[in-house]
């Protein structure tokens, strides 16, 4: 059915979740390049800004940002005859873009790898929670259509970056052998995986490095009894260190380097909505970040990598996080 929808479309919108990450941007741009190669007009739309370290990707300069280009976005969505929703399981993860997308009369396709997808807002759903990234879902689809080995260099680049980002450079949620079969086939297209890694992880500004030292020395609270750590960042601190968009990427993973740490939570004040605290959760082993995020922070995600948000002050957010950690004491103290 999906190949038929694509075949009979001419103007396609591809959209993804708020605060788009590497998988969201990489997967969306893969679809854009694939559709353009098929002769379609394809536009990627994101709810808000995305990290600077992703802006080198082929096609990234054409992405429309809803918070900055609302009228243009509405016109493009109104003209679309197909909408592909990528890397999210609930329409509310489109944030301010949700109303515009849901008002479109075009058929919608969902491509995702998160748990418990909402099955009511898209006509066609491809959901594989066992897969490491939305990009792996796309590889799976292309392989089934016997097209994976004929994709372009640009598509292969975006797919590899997306899977690399959503697995922490293949350090978690990446034990399934098929992932590396797909990577091998992507490498056959001539991509430079080492350069992709450097473009993402070795582009820190001076502000990022100084901020990292500050956050670890001053703002990291270690709850030794719970094998957990909390890091906080306010907008005032962000301004002090001249933090660029994307400079906080990966901060949440650092406490997991401490021997015995099972859970790390990063509380980051939203730059566009002061008073909203964004939470990133990372864990090792069997600790269910997704359950904690859903139960306490109106969020979700994967077992070892999830997110959520709170509308409160930073001090109140810290207390909410400590209460959530205490609620899982039996798992964290063991």
- The predicted-structure confidence for 307-319, as pLDDT tens digits, reads as follows 999 999 999 999 9
pLDDT at 217: 98
pTM over 0.85: yes
What is the spatial distance between Cα 284 and Cα 305, in angstroms, rounded to a whole number? 9
Helices (H), the chain: 2-7, 22-37, 70-79, 98-103, 134-144, 153-166, 177-187, 193-201, 206-214, 235-240, 289-297, 314-327, 329-333
Distance in angstroms between the alpha carbons of the first and the last residue of the chain:
48
pLDDT at 207: 87
pLDDT at 273: 82
What is the spatial distance between Cα 168 and Cα 40, in angstroms, rounded to a whole number? 33
Contact 53, 128 (CB under 8 A): no
pLDDT at 118: 93
pLDDT at 7: 96
Query: Which residues on neighbouring strands pair with residue 222, listed in sequence order?
Result: 229
Dihedral angle, C-alpha 44, 47, 52, 55, nearest 10 °: 0
Contact 260, 227 (CB under 8 A): yes
pLDDT at 213: 96
- The predicted-structure confidence for 141-157, as pLDDT tens digits, reads as follows 999 999 999 999 999 99
pLDDT at 171: 87
pLDDT at 230: 98
pLDDT at 9: 98
pLDDT at 334: 80
Tokens of 135: 């990009």
Q: List the chain residues with pLDDT less than 50.
A: none
Cα distances (angstroms) measured from residue 240 to each of 52, 88, 178, 228:
19, 33, 45, 27
pLDDT at 205: 85
Contact 289, 305 (CB under 8 A): yes
């Amino acid at each position: 059915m999906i190949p038929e929808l694509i075949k009979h479309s001419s103007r396609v919108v591809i959209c993804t979740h708020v605060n788009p990450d590497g998988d969201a941007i990489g997967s969306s741009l893969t679809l854009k390049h694939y559709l353009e190669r098929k002769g379609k007009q394809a536009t990627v739309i994101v709810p808000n800004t995305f990290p600077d370290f992703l802006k080198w990707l082929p096609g990234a300069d054409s992405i429309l940002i809803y918070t900055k280009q609302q009228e243009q976005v509405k016109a493009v969505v109104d003209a679309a005859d197909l909408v592909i929703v990528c890397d999210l399981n609930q329409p509310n993860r489109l944030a301010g873009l949700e109303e515009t997308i849901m008002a479109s009369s075009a058929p919608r396709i969902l491509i995702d790898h998160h748990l418990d997808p909402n099955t009511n807002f898209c006509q066609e759903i491809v959901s594989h929670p066992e897969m490491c990234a939305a990009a792996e879902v796309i590889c799976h689809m292309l392989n089934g259509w016997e097209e994976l080995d004929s994709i372009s260099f640009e598509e292969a680049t975006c797919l590899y970056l997306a899977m690399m980002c959503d697995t922490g450079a293949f350090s978690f949620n990446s034990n399934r052998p098929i992932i590396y079969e797909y990577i091998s086939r992507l490498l056959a297209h001539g991509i430079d995986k080492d350069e992709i890694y450097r473009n993402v992880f070795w582009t820190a500004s001076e502000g990022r490095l100084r901020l990292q030292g500050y956050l670890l020395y001053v703002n990291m609270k270690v709850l030794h009894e719970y094998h957990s750590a909390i890091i906080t960042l306010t907008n005032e601190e962000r301004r002090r260190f001249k933090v660029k968009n994307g400079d906080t990427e990966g901060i949440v993973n650092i406490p997991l380097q401490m021997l015995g740490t099972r859970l790390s939570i990063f509380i980051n004040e939203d730059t566009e909505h002061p008073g909203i605290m964004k939470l990133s959760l990372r864990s090792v082993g069997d600790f269910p970040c997704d359950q904690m995020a859903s139960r306490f922070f109106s969020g979700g995600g994967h077992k070892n990598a999830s997110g959520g948000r709170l509308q409160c002050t930073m001090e109140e957010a810290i207390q909410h996080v400590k209460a959530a950690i205490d609620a899982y004491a039996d798992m964290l103290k063991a």
